[in-house]
Structure 1
Amino acid sequence: MQLEILPNLSSDFLSLLKDSYNYDVIIKVKEKEFKAHSIILYARSNYFKLLLSEGRIFNEDNTICLKMMEIDPNVFEMIMIYIYTGIMDFSNVADETIFSFLLTTFRLCLFEATAYTQSYLVDHAKPWIQKNFSTVLNTIFKLANCRKLQNYCVKYLCLEAKSFFSSRDSLRLSKNILSLILDLDNLYIEEIDLWEYLLEWGITQIHNNFNHKFNKTIILSKWNIIQFGEALKKTLDPLIYRIRFREINPDDFYEKIKPYKLIIPNDIYDDLMSYYLIGTPTKIGMPSLPRRGKISRILEGGKNSIYDCDDFNLILYFGNGDLILDGVNGICDKSDYEFCLLNDDEKCFEAEELEIFSVNV
């Protein structure tokens, strides 16, 4: 019979960390020093294993000296407690600090702690994530094993795209992350709104880079059009290729896109003019599918009932948010749904073995 009595083991190792008995490593984290044991660091973290194996810097007491000046000392103290005891205590810890803890565990190759921390944030810190959404987005997609947090952010972004892209926080997105977002097929936002956001984002980047205040009115003036147009065109490349121009109606194209002709690549503009004037199919390799499906009807299994989605005034959620209905508008992740092709014009998704949704795309 095998017995596991872990609480006492964790307690003993915590005492070892606090007492620093027979320590052989000093880690300087900004203004604070941590005394540790190389054998424990080596066993618990691949990051420290590599660091300790490559080369050691000793002081006059024959102690290994390491510097980690970019980490918050409070976060590193939590890291050391986890390394020694396997315990993570987030009670009375600010969500921002927990997020920093997540990033630090990933950097130090403490992937078990990373996985647990991302789950904690999704389950207990949604308001903080939403309030600091750009900061979270700009960071988490660099972390390979944060799939749960990534999925939550994508689903939240798709549903709240209109409000998010109307916020100042959205202008802080990095170019790489914005490129990934514009590739999503289920953003709940009109394409013309994305276009106007993209202009505002580009202007903000130039403002930040050159420390000069610009706005869309200034771009249109003859005084600045040469000076500013090329900078904005360069900033928006290749993001502009991810705008689904075919989903923008002719009136909006004329009023909100045509004035910015000089920042639109010639191949895109010529292609769009042919599309809007004579209906020629676009030839440029731009995305053409609409971002949102239109839900035309719901067939309720077993009752032979058909509901017109125009009758729905509430937002309906199915499959834990994988399918979201808001009136006739629908967002579908499809991850929990069986996909089948009905004909050239319709697609359906089978949800929870009860409902079938006919989606016009």
Structure 2
Amino acid sequence: MTFEYSQEISNDYEKLLENEKECDVIIYAGENQNLKEILAHSLILCTRSQYFCAAFSNEWVEKKDGKFIFKKPNISPELFKIILRFIYCGKIDLTNLQGSELLKLLIAADELNIQTLIPCIQKFLIKDKKEFLQNNIMEILQMVYLHELFSDLLDYCLENIKRIFNSDKFINLEASLLKFLLKQDDLRLDEIEIWEYLIKWGLAQEQEFNQDVSKWNQDDFDNFKNIIQKFIPLIRFYDISSQDYLNKVKPYEKILSEELREEILKFHLVPGHKPTLNYLPKRSIDSTLINQKHVALFANWIDRKDEYIKSPYKFKLLYRASRDGNTASAFHKNCDNKRATITVVKIKDSEQIVGGYNPLEWDISGYKSTKDSFIFSFTDRMDLQTGKVGYSNGDQYSIICYKKNGPVFGYNNLYHYNSWISNPVMTNNQYSYPKLDGMPNGSFNIDDYEVFQVL
């Protein structure tokens, strides 16, 4: 029989910190009038922090009268005490800290290599300090984008990219940071919007530019090209409609190479032309039915999480009925043996979508049991609040794979057989999936349906 008293040990270490007995470390935190002396124990610091362990083992820390001396003028005494308490007993209370203090604490935790503390601070900021983040998003982006461990805050900034681009400070963005942003494959913006923001930034770099491009001479175009030329390869021109290209890109067309202009022209005029120059994947999901916000919500449902800041999954389009043929054979040809997939169905002449998640794989092997599959319904796909989800009870009909069928979820809960049908049947006094409000009854017509591999 095993007994654990971890809380008692934690309390004892907290008392040790408060009593400061046999301390052999002196930390001078803060500077000037805010300079304070804090005592600690080298054995505990070395055990709990890679930073202090390296300092003691490499002997690059000052030692005087048998005590190790650390000087940390960039970390306030108040924040250092918070970090020490976490090092000693694993306790931290962020409730009364302001947003700016939390950012300083995050930087300090990174400097002292307290890695377990970093995600805690980020999650607290995102959950409880949203107003602060939104009001200071540009400064926060500049702080976090080069820190690998600050990925949660970086994801938050990227999820709010429009707020960044609409900021008054956007035109002062460093070129390296703008390049970093334009490299992102999942910005929640239309490509023409990204182009317009790039033009806005470029025009602001030279006061001499006339805002009316129709009045530019060749020198103006040459100067402008020199400013934004390095960003041109990052623009997905083939995702810009011909109308938007004509109205918003063509006025600046002289800054594009002749080869690129020729490729864009062929792309819009020659059916099936596959461009080879400056071709990049779509920033958003390849879908006519859903967007990245749906992907983030589906990720929450897949992992049964309250909220992801950014989806840990990518959705790869395997099948689109209108493109590949609305038949069971076409579905199986494109979707079998591809592991986890999600199916999205748009009901005809409406904004309602329904569908389901298969965590296993499609094939023609018959019944499959799982508690991780689900079905869903959005009465309005443009309003995520209308989304409802129901998980399988784990019976043998969770997923059904028949050669003559497309996707089948549950015992007739939602399935494709020539048409789409929802007509749940009970077995053992229960349905395979809960009944969802808004799910159609019987056979229903659709505009299209898509199946995505979940990677």
**TM-score between the two structures when normalised by the length of structure 2:** 0.57
Alpha-carbon distance between aligned partners in 1 of 2:4 and 2:221, rounded to the nearest angstrom = 77
Alpha-carbon distance between aligned partners in 2 of 1:45 and 1:294, rounded to the nearest angstrom = 47
Alpha-carbon distance between aligned partners in 1 of 2:315 and 2:451, rounded to the nearest angstrom = 16
Q: Secondary structure at the match of 1:320?
A: helix
Shift of 1:110: 0.5
**Structure 1 match to 2:116:** 112
Q: Equivalent of 1:225, from 217, 220, 226?
A: 220
**Structure 2 match to 1:269:** 261
Q: Equivalent of 1:320, from 297, 317, 321?
A: 297
Structure 1 stretch displaced more, 172-181 or 88-97: 172-181
User: Considering only CA atoms, is the larger Rg found in Structure 1 or Structure 2?
Assistant: 2
Alpha-carbon distance between aligned partners in 1 of 2:171 and 2:451, rounded to the nearest angstrom = 32
Q: How many residue pairs align between the two structures? A: 322
Alpha-carbon distance between aligned partners in 2 of 1:6 and 1:277, rounded to the nearest angstrom = 73
Shift of 1:197: 0.4
Alpha-carbon distance between aligned partners in 1 of 2:44 and 2:130, rounded to the nearest angstrom = 34
1:155-170 matched pairs, under 5 angstroms: 156-157=159-160, 161-170=161-170
Distance 1:338 1:293, change over 3 A: closer
Distance 1:337 1:224, change over 3 A: closer
Alpha-carbon distance between aligned partners in 1 of 2:90 and 2:242, rounded to the nearest angstrom = 60
What CA deviation, in whole Å up to 9, does each residue of 1:252-295 have, x standing for no partner?
A: 33443233345434543343344456675422042153635554
Q: Residue 28 of structure 2 contacts residue 73 of structure 2 at CA under 8 Å; is this kept in 1?
A: no
Tell me, yes or no, if structure 1 residue 358 matches structure 2 residue 449: yes
Q: Residue 340 of structure 1 contacts residue 349 of structure 1 at CA under 8 Å; is this kept in 2?
A: no
1:232-251 matched pairs, under 5 angstroms: 232-233=227-228, 236-237=229-230, 239-251=231-243
**Structure 1 match to 2:196:** 196
Alpha-carbon distance between aligned partners in 2 of 1:56 and 1:264, rounded to the nearest angstrom = 54
Identity rate, percent: 19
Shift of 1:108: 1.3
Tell me, yes or no, if structure 1 residue 3 matches structure 2 residue 5: yes
1:1-361 matched pairs, under 5 angstroms: 1-4=3-6, 5-6=8-9, 8-16=11-19, 19=20, 22-31=23-32, 32-37=35-40, 38-56=42-60, 58=62, 61=65, 63-154=67-158, 156-157=159-160, 161-171=161-171, 175-204=175-204, 206=205, 213=207, 217=211, 221-222=216-217, 225=220, 228-233=223-228, 236-237=229-230, 239-276=231-268, 281-289=274-282, 291=284, 293=286, 295-296=288-289, 320=297, 322=299, 335=313, 340-342=318-320, 345=323, 349-350=342-343, 351=356, 353-355=374-376, 358-359=449-450
Distance 1:153 1:230, change over 3 A: closer
Which amino acid letter does the alignment assign opposite residue 45 of structure 2? L
Which amino acid letter does the alignment assign opposite residue 354 of structure 1? I
Alpha-carbon distance between aligned partners in 2 of 1:217 and 1:70, rounded to the nearest angstrom = 44
Distance 1:54 1:27, change over 3 A: farther
Q: Residue 232 of structure 1 contacts residue 263 of structure 1 at CA under 8 Å; is this kept in 2?
A: no
Q: Residue 27 of structure 1 contacts residue 35 of structure 1 at CA under 8 Å; is this kept in 2?
A: yes
Alpha-carbon distance between aligned partners in 2 of 1:240 and 1:272, rounded to the nearest angstrom = 13
Provide structure 1 residue ranges, at least 5 long, that are not aligned to the other structure.
208-212, 298-315, 324-331
Alpha-carbon distance between aligned partners in 2 of 1:15 and 1:276, rounded to the nearest angstrom = 72
RMSD between superposed Cα atoms in Å: 4.1
Alpha-carbon distance between aligned partners in 2 of 1:40 and 1:261, rounded to the nearest angstrom = 63
Shift of 1:146: 4.5
What CA deviation, in whole Å up to 9, does each residue of 1:217-261 have, x standing for no partner?
A: 28764496277335413xx51x32121112223343344323334
Q: Which structure's residues are more often helix, by fraction?
A: 1
Alpha-carbon distance between aligned partners in 1 of 2:267 and 2:164, rounded to the nearest angstrom = 30
Distance 1:224 1:33, change over 3 A: farther
Shift of 1:117: 1.7
